[in-house]
Homo-oligomer: A and B are copies of this chain.
């Protein structure tokens, strides 16, 4: 099932969420491995087939799938510098996405954007490397849907660190004031690079900040796809019905460093050691099996995810780099 097709019953959307999580994870695992090509023994960000910064979303997949399970291609999503899981869940073309990350001419943006600038107009997905930049465009896209008479919604994903940007405040006030059909999703992975939430944010839960705009604020603990799916479903239905925005903070876990290469020494050792147990894909898999799914059914989804990830990566690897003229083709003279 694709996002945008209404999930038919509990069973189907759970499998869809599972598969999308695995797909994102498989893609990112390959990216992580390849990222180090050309960067050993000396780690130099400029080298290898995937140069530049690389922010992986491993561990945060529940946030993406629980929300995007409710979205259509015409719904508008903005993500952040850590965009892969959301892109995958929103239905971004996997091959073109991988090719963009490799800087190839077959990429979503012909290699102009890179991993922090994934745009897929076919499913109304975009992201940005500037913290907080995507929040207001989501409000605008939501208002545009209203003005154009569509019942599409917009969703803006952001990290918990981003909530301290002025842009968060301005955009939420606008959305609330204008009753825009938009949902704000905060992925609280407890860190903004090395700075933990308590050192950046004056309230424990950003859900409390909804009070500053007179909109509902929801906190979902546990990094749990089902709980996220439920909370997001309610908020998105509310938005679609014209009842205005919702702010949702999701507890989640960043299993990797801020970017690949980050040694993460700023996280307490106990915290780092616990992370493996918190892998949401393993936990969700166990729950699905507990709920009566066959392991073989999930294995088949895993296999399909692996196949798609492999396919996307080899497409990217085998594509050509763009010609230099491409750099000049998308700006007027």
CB neighbours of A208 from chain B (8 A): 211-212, 214
Main secondary structure of the interface of A (DSSP, over half): helix
A211 contact from B167, B200, B212, Cβ within 8 A: B212
CB neighbours of A176 from chain B (8 A): 202
A290 within 8 A of B: no
- In angstroms, Cα B173 to Cα A200, docked, is 8
> How many copies altogether?
2
- In angstroms, Cα B138 to Cα A197, docked, is 24
A173 contact from B167, B201, B215, Cβ within 8 A: B201
A321 within 8 A of B: no
Can you name the residue of chain B whose Cβ is closest to the Cβ of A200?
A: B177
CB neighbours of A314 from chain B (8 A): none
**Are A173 and B177 in contact, CB atoms less than 8 angstroms apart?**
no
Q: Please, what's the 1-or-0 string for A188-203, where 1 marks a CB less than 8 Å from any CB in chain B?
A: 0000000000011111
CB neighbours of A166 from chain B (8 A): 165-170
A164 within 8 A of B: yes
Can you name the residue of chain B whose Cβ is closest to the Cβ of A167?
A: B166
Q: How far is the CB of A29 from chain B (nearest CB, A)?
A: 36
A213 within 8 A of B: yes
- In angstroms, Cα B208 to Cα A245, docked, is 18
A202 contact from B165, B168, B214, Cβ within 8 A: B214
CB neighbours of A238 from chain B (8 A): none
Q: How far is the CB of A332 from chain B (nearest CB, A)?
A: 30
A285 within 8 A of B: no
- In angstroms, Cα B168 to Cα A165, docked, is 10
- In angstroms, Cα B205 to Cα A131, docked, is 28
**Are B165 and A170 in contact, CB atoms less than 8 angstroms apart?**
yes
**Are A211 and B211 in contact, CB atoms less than 8 angstroms apart?**
yes
A39 within 8 A of B: no
A47 within 8 A of B: no
Q: Please, what's the 1-or-0 string for A136-176, where 1 marks a CB less than 8 Å from any CB in chain B?
A: 00000000000000000000000000001111111011001
- In angstroms, Cα B212 to Cα A203, docked, is 7
A72 within 8 A of B: no
CB neighbours of A212 from chain B (8 A): 202-203, 208-209, 211-212
Q: Please, what's the 1-or-0 string for A68-82, where 1 marks a CB less than 8 Å from any CB in chain B?
A: 000000000000000
- In angstroms, Cα B212 to Cα A58, docked, is 30
CB neighbours of A213 from chain B (8 A): 202-203
Q: How far is the CB of A163 from chain B (nearest CB, A)?
A: 9
- In angstroms, Cα B203 to Cα A177, docked, is 8
Q: List 12 A-B contacts (CB under 8 A).
A: A164-B170, A165-B170, A166-B168, A168-B169, A169-B169, A177-B199, A202-B213, A203-B214, A209-B212, A211-B211, A211-B212, A212-B212
